[in-house]
Structure 1
Amino acid sequence: MMDSALSGIKKANALQIIDQVKAAVAKWKEYAKEAGVSATSLKMIQKRLLDITSV
């Protein structure tokens, strides 16, 4: 994580933002379905997300 002095964001705020992003990303499939993303694209996105998170 960036040094809070460099980013201008307090650590508690940064952690809260990270938690909010994690919560939104966890619901990506729900959002994609609501947007009409095809099953093929859903599978491709899922694979890419798994590639990213397994690093």
Structure 2
Amino acid sequence: MARNDIRPIVKLRSTAGTGYTYVTRKNRRNDPDRLVLRKFDPIARQHVDFREER
């Protein structure tokens, strides 16, 4: 089984509308839905939700 099948690279985009993104990997078996993480957006200078973008 290939490495990218279970843990694909996903892009997390800020919901604040700044266009800032984080890049991470996720486990598709544990998180089959879209990932939502609360992280710091340096452009908005606050913690906001980052949603998985496909």
TM-score of the superposition, structure 1-length normalised? 0.23
Q: Which has the higher contact order (CA 8 A, sep 6+)?
A: 2
Which of these two proteins has the greater Rg computed from alpha carbons? 1
Higher helix fraction (1 or 2):
1
Scaled by the length of structure 2, what TM-score is found? 0.23
Relative to its length, the structure with more strand (as a share) is: 2
